[in-house]
Amino acid sequence: MARLHLHLLSDSTGETLEMIAKAALAQFDGADVTRHFWPMVRSKQHLDRILQDFTANPGLVLFTLANPETRGHLEERCRTLGLPHVAVLDTVTHALAERLGQEAHSRPGARHVMDEAYFRRVDAIQFTIAHDDGIGWENWEEADIVLAGVSRTSKTPTSIYLANRGFKVANIPLVVESPPPTSLFRLRGPMVVGLTTAPKRLIQIRRNRLLSLNEKAQTAYVDESRVEKELSFARRMFADNGWAVIDVTRRSIEETAAAVIKLHQERAARDTPPQSGPKPI
């Protein structure tokens, strides 16, 4: 299979474009793809410098460029070079414009405007970092979500991912010999979610962690009976407290976070009283 050069151009950070490309590439097994990432492209001069790489590494061009002049220049040069090019948000934007009855704004990086949502996300990230690994339990009531699970069940990376989506998250490691603070069982505001995984998978992850730290790979930390006891201890705690449980064995961080967000949305919908409409005549 020939190698594909994939050029990703954005007039902002390119986060959206990268996520779309990653999701699309996941549909193809064994694809040999070299990605060329070009963020913050906001002038013809910048674009002209990038086009030199197009000539050296021709391939598929995916872009999100709001400025009509810059976009037109890119499209013209791609046609000249015979390169396929796709404006990845056009179809969605056109569909929304048609349904909303208004034209879309040509606003580079509009999703990163420093509005209330931006500052809420910053606050969430700061809170989450300050409440990682059981720290700051006195303030857990301020969290939106609390993740609980034994060591190496992806609590921290999932917390950070959720924080980037605007959720204040705390996480707590569950250790058989050291029960969590009693405040965990008295929380009213936050949604507590238990993370669990298959014992063999957990042992493999822990062994890899020990190897990366140049530590012995044969310790109680990776002992099969000990690991099963830890997971049983955690599952029993989840069940006793009626917490939602997510098995992360075959889930990526993004998939785990998506499952947590869905649970949070369902909980919010249940807690929101129905709006009273007009009484029937």
Place of tokens 């921290």: 156
95 SS3 class = helix
Q: Does 155 belong to an annotated binding site?
A: yes
Per the DSSP assignment, residues forming a β-bridge with 5 are 34
Distance CA 139, CA 145 (A): 12
Residues 167 and 117: beta-carbon distance below 8 Å: no
Q: Any binding-site annotation on 152?
A: yes
194 annotated binding-site participant: no
Order of strands, sheet of 191-196, starting from the edge strand that comes earlier in the sequence = 169-173, 145-149, 191-196, 244-247
User: Which two structure tokens, joined as six digits, stand for 131?
Assistant: 């409440």
Amino acid at 89: L
According to the annotation, is 232 in a ligand binding site? no
Does 168 show up as a binding residue in the annotation? no
Q: How far apart (Å, rounded) are the C-alpha atoms in residues 164 and 87?
A: 25
252 is in an annotated binding site: no
* Residue 245 is labelled as binding a ligand: no
Contact 229, 174 (CB under 8 A): no
- Is residue 150 marked as binding? yes
Q: In 162-178, which positions are buried (b, 16+ CB within 10 angstroms) versus exposed (e)? A: bbeebbbbbbbbbeeee
The Cα 258–Cα 124 span in angstroms is: 17
Cβ density class 27-56: b for 16+ within 10 Å, e for less: eeeeeeeeeeebbebbeeeebeebbeebee
Binding residues for ADP: 149-156
Q: Which parts are annotated binding residues? A: 149-156
